[in-house]
Amino acid sequence: MSRSTTPLRSMFTGLTCATLLALSACAPLVVGGAATTAVVATDRRTTGEQVEDKAIQVKVISEVHRLFPNREDVRVVSQSYAGVVLLLGDVPTEDDKQKIGAAVSGIEKVQRVINQLRVGEVTPNSVRTNDTWTTSKVKATLLNTKEVPSRTIDVTTERGIVYLQGRVTEDEGSRAAIAASGVSGVNKVVKLFDIVSPESVSSGSATTQQAAPIETVGSSPSTPSSTTDTGGAQAMPVQ
């Protein structure tokens, strides 16, 4: 790919290719700059939910590109889990942040938007590289932590803050967050889990019991009726 391609166009192209790969087989993919793994067999989402999440992530980048074509000062990373979309990255103004949040909340199958976009200059490549490395270390740690369903947990790191998404029990979520908080390079761990009952996990039919609270970043929803969520988070202190 040409080096002159804009960040948004590059992400959109990468997302489209990744989605096609993921729908045909279990394969590594990059979603809006966030590394993850498509493993249908061990993911507690239904196959339909996994397909919808990948489609949502493609549509998020499409919406951002529509709103801000060829903009080098706009960087958006999206991660969708069961229709709950986490937005990370950098935008020039608060208005831009709210505009993106409102647009994403209108995408089909999106249940809720957690708008953690940062207002400011684009995060340097060196920091983003460190974030990628931190994500890899957290994933490896979760994989080696007993009684943590690492295959159903998505890990995304932004400026040293680790966001955990997944369908887990209360105990599983706590163990995962504690393990992640002990990884070097992690400044904070934010739990964005979809909490399910232990009984539903045992029966193989995990259903939502309650949603974990989301971290407050100090901004209000895009509109009074918007599904954009920026309030009420649960963060783990770093060990």
**Residue 126 has what pLDDT?**
98
- Distance of alpha carbon 96 from alpha carbon 174, whole angstroms: 34
Provide the whole-model pTM: 0.74
- Distance of alpha carbon 130 from alpha carbon 98, whole angstroms: 27
**CB neighbour list of residue 180: distance below 8 Å, 6 or more residues apart:** 138, 141, 142, 155, 162, 164, 186, 189, 236
**Residue 235 has what pLDDT?**
67
Quote the tokens at residue 204: 């193989």
Quote the tokens at residue 110: 């999106």
The CA distances from residue 170 to 56, 186, 191, 211, in Å, are 27, 22, 11, 10
Q: Is 32 exposed, middle or buried (0-12, 13-18, 19+ CB in 10 A)?
A: buried
| Nearest alpha carbon to residue 191 among 207, 169, 218 | 169
Indicate the length of the chain as a whole number: 239
**Per-residue pLDDT reduced to its tens digit, 73-94:** 999 999 999 999 999 999 999 9
**Residue 42 has what pLDDT?**
83
Collapsing DSSP states into helix, strand and coil, what is residue 162? strand
**Per-residue pLDDT reduced to its tens digit, 55-74:** 999 999 999 999 999 999 99
**Residue 238 has what pLDDT?**
61
**Per-residue pLDDT reduced to its tens digit, 12-39:** 455 544 444 444 433 333 334 454 433 3
| Nearest alpha carbon to residue 155 among 35, 63, 19, 22 | 35
| Nearest alpha carbon to residue 192 among 218, 211, 216 | 211
**Residue 152 has what pLDDT?**
95
**Residue 9 has what pLDDT?**
52
Under-50 pLDDT residues of the chain: 1-6, 12, 16-33, 35-41, 209-228, 230-233
